[in-house]
Amino acid sequence: MEYRRLSPDELEDISSRILYEDNHILIFNKVPGEIVQGDKTGDECLAETLKAFIAIRDSKPGKVFMGIPHRLDRPVSGIVVFAKTSKALSRLSEMFRTGEMHKTYWALCLDSPKNESGDLVDWLVRDERMNKSFIARKGSATPGAKEARLQYKLLGRTERYSLIAVRLLTGRHHQIRCQLAAAGCVIKGDLKYGAPRSNPDGGICLHSREISFIHPVKKEEMTVIAPPPASWKGIEPFL
């Protein structure tokens, strides 16, 4: 099997962003702009890049398996879990589906929430054409509306922004982006949901910070934490 040859700099970068790896799973720290799975853009996705990396690193002559049990939006950074075997993929996919993967995100927002912590419960409707979600004003009575629940906590403020931790209780399209914006906490760089300007890297300041779960094969408790992008200035006291 032929994979793209990666440069020494690419190999070093990819290696530095592997947060955990064994024979069954690989957990990676994605940067804004990378896509987890191939899409209509035709850009190389992380799954293919990691296949090429493992083929080179491990001198594998055959096909490398890299299963995708979940996704992370292109402008978002942070933890992505990949499966290195079909057995792990099946189990991880079911764990994500049933909510056994406990995910915490960090969001750098333009304003602070009214309360330092709390729950947000809304009904969201996805507009496929606009690739955007909206709060359903009629709640569950709105056709296609799905309940969206999250918990948030204000961690503190930098000179210009609020750092908010979010724990997802459901997994809806653009859920954190839409719900925080509706609560008056627009994420830095998120033009789609009301930010006044984009970030230089084209991403948004939403980061998949932590994931906790039971290993799908070893059955051990795991918690993995991903450092946020270096462009997030002023958050050092919260790390």
Nearest alpha-carbon partner for 120 in 190, 185, 180, 209:
180
Q: What is the largest CA-CA distance in the chain?
A: 57
| pLDDT one-digit tens code per residue, 122-137 | 999 999 999 999 999 8
Same fold, 8-105+206-227 and 111-185: yes
pTM score, whole prediction: 0.95
Q: What is the pLDDT of residue 40?
A: 83
Q: What is the pLDDT of residue 187?
A: 98
Compute the average pLDDT of residues 180-201: 97
Q: What is the pLDDT of residue 230?
A: 93
Read off the DSSP letter of residue 187.
Answer: B
Compute the average pLDDT of residues 47-74: 95
Domain spanning 8-105+206-227: which CATH class is it, in words?
alpha beta
- Reduced to 3 states (helix: H, G, I; strand: E, B; else coil), residue 27 is strand
Domain spanning 111-185: which CATH class is it, in words?
alpha beta
Q: What is the pLDDT of residue 220?
A: 97
Residues 6 or more apart whose Cβ sits within 8 Å of residue 52: 3, 4, 5, 6
Do 169 and 150 contact (CB within 8 A), yes or no?
Answer: yes
Compute the average pLDDT of residues 5-15: 97
Nearest alpha-carbon partner for 25 in 108, 111, 76, 87:
87
Asked whether residue 1 carries a pLDDT value surpassing 80, the answer given is no
Domain ranges of the chain: 8-105+206-227, 111-185
pLDDT band at 143 (very low <50, low <70, confident <90, very high): very high
Mean pLDDT of all residues belonging to the chain = 96
Asked whether residue 70 carries a pLDDT value surpassing 90, the answer given is yes
Q: What is the pLDDT of residue 38?
A: 86
Share of the chain above pLDDT 70, in %: 100
Compute the average pLDDT of residues 124-153: 95
